[in-house]
Each structure stands twice: as C-alpha cells, then as structure tokens.
A and B are shown apart, each in its own frame.
Chain A
Amino acid sequence: MTMFSLAAILVLAALVLAVLRAARGPTIYDRILAGNTVGTLAVLLLLLGGFVTERPEFIDLAITYQFLNIVGTVAILKYFRYGSLGHGLDEQAPALHGKPPADRRDEGPA
C-alpha cells in the first residue's frame, strides 16, 4: 500500500501548487489552465485514495468527476467562442479570427 500513499502525496503536492497558481495567476487564462489541472489532479487523487483505502467505489466517483471536467471543457470552449457564458446558442457567434466580441462591434462600421 505504500506506493499508493507515495503517489498520493506527490499528487497532493502538485495539487497545492496548481491551486496556488490559480490564486495568483496574472491572467484569466492562467486561472482557467490551473483549474483544468486541478480537475485532472483531483481525479488522480480520488483514484489513488480509493486504492489506499481499498474502496473501489472511489473509481466511480473519479469517473463522475472526469465527466464534470468534460463539462468544464465545453464551458471553456463556449467562453472562447462567444466571449461570455451568458450567450444563447442561437445567436450569431463572432468570427474566430481576431474579431472583437460581439457586443463591442455594434457601433462599428457594418
């Protein structure tokens, strides 16, 4: 069992560092990146914790958490596509290639 404990301690240290980066990351993209990393490391930590305590139900929890990470990834994609999360899907998306977000183009030349 000690090898799972060793790996869990290492992953926990990495998790602490990722949370620190999320707290002090200068841009919002750094925070999103750190959030993704926290999700990945949390899945790994759940699995290792399940192996340490010999309770295999933790694997199902980890799979669930992984699906939540996928939802987070979709949220990131939507954020970068629409510029915010409160955008309806039926609205016209701003073009991806360097155009400003849609609400800033309203007064501009058509």
Chain B
Amino acid sequence: MTDPGALLLEILSWFLLAGGGTVCLIGAIGMHRMPDLYTRMHAVSVIDGLGAAMLLVGMALQAGFSLIALKLVVVLALLLFTSPIAAHALARGALHRGVRPKQLTEDRATRTVLARLVDRPPAPHADGLHPEEAPDSSAGEAAIDPAPGRPAR
C-alpha cells in the first residue's frame, strides 16, 4: 500500500463503509424512537438515501473499474428510483385513510391543508384501515378532484 492513490482510495472506502453502516443503524434506531408514522418515514429515508448510497459507493471503490462496480451502480440506481415512489405512495395512502400526524399544531394553516388532503375525521381505529363514513367537508373537495362516480352496472 505504498501507492498514495491506492491509500487514498482505501481510506475513502473505509470512511464510506463505516459511515454508511452507522447511518443505517441510526435510521433503524430512529424507527423506534420516532412517535408516529410520518416521522418514522423521515427516519427510514435516511437509510434508503444516504446509508445505501454510502455503502454502495464504498463497495464500488473497493471493486475498482469492473463489472462488479457496474452492478453496484445498477443496484443504487434501482434503489434511488423506487424508494421515493414507495415513500410517496405510503404517506399519501396513510393520509387519505385518515392516519393523522401526532403532535400536530392545529392552527388555521394546517387545518386548511388537512381539509384539502383528508376530507374525513381522524380514524377511530388504531390502524386507520376502516375509518367511519363521514360526510365530505365541502372546503377542498370541489377544488381538488371531483370524484368520478362508479360506473352504473
């Protein structure tokens, strides 16, 4: 390891691998310490973004210019494309099914936003999957998306 370039690569990949593992662990600890779903998603996005990217780049530095590095880049690209889609769908679905954020300061602005996004009261059940039927609040409904009726059969 007398070549300074190789030494630099070694140090850099050490830093990336150890740092990536630590970031993954921090994100997983955040999954347990955060109070509700949305803040947990915030903690998990650290794993999907920074932790995986650091680990994969660190491994690619160790692999050098080879097919292995190309495959690592492919994995990273797939990960960076799909994890925001999944996170978006999850947060949107949870919000529409009535899972409210905890510790929400209920001022006028958040009430307006929630009336646009969630036109129903918060779910009485814990899992929010079968919320009570509620009349739509008239505020944001017409402005956003007038729901198409089901086709008559």
> Quick one: given A7-B18, A14-B25, A98-B96, are A26 and B31 in contact (CB under 8 Å)?
no
* Interface: A3 (CB within 8 A): yes
The reply to whether B55 and A29 form a contact with Cβ atoms under 8 Å apart is: no
Q: Produce 1/0 per residue, B26-59, CB < 8 A to A.
A: 0111011000010011001001100110011011
Q: Which residues of B contact A17 (CB under 8 A)?
A: 25, 28-29, 31-32
Q: Which residues of B contact A15 (CB under 8 A)?
A: 28
Q: Which residues of B contact A32 (CB under 8 A)?
A: 90
Report Cα–Cα, A30/B126, bound state, in Å.
12
Q: Which residues of B contact A59 (CB under 8 A)?
A: 68, 71-72, 75
* Interface: B21 (CB within 8 A): yes
The reply to whether A3 and B145 form a contact with Cβ atoms under 8 Å apart is: no
Q: Which residues of A contact B149 (CB under 8 A)?
A: 110
User: Which of A33, A44, A67, A108 is close to B24, meaning CB atoms less than 8 Å apart?
Assistant: A44
Report Cα–Cα, A103/B31, bound state, in Å.
33
Q: Which residues of B contact A11 (CB under 8 A)?
A: 21, 24-25, 55
User: Which of A10, A47, A66, A80 is close to B21, meaning CB atoms less than 8 Å apart?
Assistant: A10
Report Cα–Cα, A88/B7, bound state, in Å.
57
Among A63-102, those with CB < 8 Å from B are: 63, 66-67, 69-70, 73, 76-77, 79-80, 92, 94-100, 102
Report Cα–Cα, A102/B147, bound state, in Å.
12
Q: Which residues of A contact B52 (CB under 8 A)?
A: 40, 43-44
Q: Which residues of A contact B145 (CB under 8 A)?
A: 95-97
The reply to whether B56 and A47 form a contact with Cβ atoms under 8 Å apart is: yes
* Interface: B8 (CB within 8 A): no
